[in-house]
Structure 1
Amino acid sequence: MSAGPLNPTQTGRLLWVSFAVLYFMYLSPVFVAFFVELSSEFKAVKPLASVTGLHVPMAYWLATIVALYILLRLLGKFVPIKMHKKSLAKHKEDILQMLYFGTAQAVISGAAARVASGQVNYMTGLSFLPLLSVFTLYYTLLFEVVRDCKFTLSSDLVSNLPALITFIVSFAVIVGVVISHLLQAWAQPSDFREPYFWWSGITVFIHAVLFLPGFPGIRDRSYLHLHHWYWPLPLAHFAVFPTDISLIAQALFTGIHIHGIACFGAETLFYDDLLRARRPSLFEWTMKPDFSLEVETSVNMSKEKRR
């Protein structure tokens, strides 16, 4: 049975059930963390420390993300998982960018401090780096199950129950993670709380402006594909607390990023539409098989299908 759009009438119930089970298992640590946090009294915790004096944990952290990159590439030689062929130059470029973002995480979100703390996940009993490895490999499996589906965030979503459920669950998880972190940040002293909220607001503002379909007087014929090597990164950088939800969020989002950059590379986000034949009337968000998002920003274009 070939895999097509994730719709029981087209691909059969087996594909949908398999995806649903795997996706629930993938998010189960998040659900457990939410349950534990909601069932217990709220307690403010200090954010993770900076990298001062954490040279060895930082080395472990950077070595782990590079090792996962190499592992996924080697896995692709023996298992038919989807990935792009890369030249040596492209490998070097992607690893360099991954190390740059990894260093930023170690400094900004305290990834090195999380490694040094030995914090373990409530459900699995795994510390940060093993949990990151599990999430990365599990996402690779999940990606293969749903890589042929295409979820379009439009009116068609209402008639596609599996896609609708997936979108609602994914959106609810992200919102829950964000709320948990904002509550923790609000409970901190002003010298941390104010920069954290300013940082959050500026990040949202910058992305919102760049992702707009255009500006008055400017004809924007580009479109955005928010690849999954990129979109988890801003979220992972805000996971700065030694809570179970923050631990899971940083491991989960970083795992998605590693899969994207290892299998496909740090691909460009904005594309010219000179070669595109399909144009929406305004703009369209499309959830791709890897849960990346594609946004076509051309305005007043025809809806001719690309053949």
Structure 2
Amino acid sequence: MNATNFYSQSFKVNLGFLLKAQIQLGNQNQGIKLGAYGLGTAQFNDLSMETGVALYSGYLLKKYTVKTSGLNFGYDFFTLLGIGNNNNFLGSSFFEDGPLLATIENKQRFYGIGFGFEKEFLPKELSTFNQRLGKFLLRFSDEGSSINIQLKNDFRAGKIFYGEGTDFGKTGMLKLSYSRVVNPKEIVHVGMAVSLFTPLQDYSKTPNNLMNSDDESKNVWYTKAPYKNLFYANLYVFGGYQNDSFSGFLKAGVNSQKLGAFVQNTLHDSFGLNPRFPWNVSEKDKLFLEFNTSINTQNTNE
């Protein structure tokens, strides 16, 4: 990571940049990824802003539990506004499987709110799931520690929450995380998350599927081949460590059809988003496991 500072009496800007080569192994996702990540912070008196941009590409062996082969690429963008004397880079923990950039100054605070969006372009038939996800972000940082809350969804509300508006694929995620700078170039990151994935609805059929219909009291979609049974709901904990040249990141939890049905049924039944999706609630829970390791090009002016 390279970091640059610009100062005046009441205005301060920090810019950080990092290149990362990553290997991903797991029972749902496998592949390699090369990424470029940039983060900037700006402070004027007690007002602060931070913005992150990422571009990446890689080669996939498995995605969303489906074995495949081919190149993928994508982008990620977010901006937060808030109060405090924020000039560190802990907002980088909003990147999906991205770097945790080292901080310039540890003893700072930031209480901010923001939005963002991300999109991944997948190979072959998986390109059906090339949706853009909108992001709602909250970050509370003090003394080299940061608590992040991140909601992702393909819901769209104008240009503010900029999802694709599709209601299938990687349709939603809620993540709570904690990051801490333990040394100038060492960061730990822990948290928990729930993530849902559903196949594409078949709009050509009447939504009278019996699966997950509560004895035919609810409308339920049929879904389209070739991935009509591609459902998952991952509830997991995660932890990561990064220094100036290496990072390791582990996710472990369960993939539960019952959980997916409960979460999505609650949302669809409560907010008038019927029909439901045909989650197989009789299916046994499965293990979800994923490990990422990377080599980073990192150099700071600390």
* TM-score strictly above 0.5: no
The structure with the largest strand share of the pair is 2
| Structure with more contact order per residue of length (Cα contacts < 8 Å, sep ≥ 6) | 1
Larger proportion of helix: 1
The TM-score normalised by the length of structure 1 is 0.23
TM-score, length-scaled by structure 2:
0.23
